[in-house]
Amino acid sequence: MNQVARFDKCFQAAAELGLEVLDFTSAEFESSLPIMSINLADFTSKEKLFVEAMLEPTIKIAGSTEIVKYGVAVLGRKVK
């Protein structure tokens, strides 16, 4: 419960500072996503990929496209 309370405080602080926390979990992977993949080299350029898990969220300035911190993600192959 302490971890949940701490997490909630972080989100409140981010909102007060005018920041947005973005989570791309389950999104189709595109090179334009503001994330760094730790396993992109494991796939070919022809494979369809998705964001399997976010290890760190992307943080951007609310109401803009300015990225403060790129997220870190693990990718997976899309199953047909």
pLDDT digits (tens, 9 = 90+) for 8-48: 777 777 778 889 989 999 999 999 999 999 999 999 999 99
For residue 55, name the pLDDT band (cuts at 50, 70, 90): very high
Whether the pTM exceeds 0.85: the reply is no
Whether 7 shows a pLDDT value over 90: the answer reads no
DSSP state of 40: G
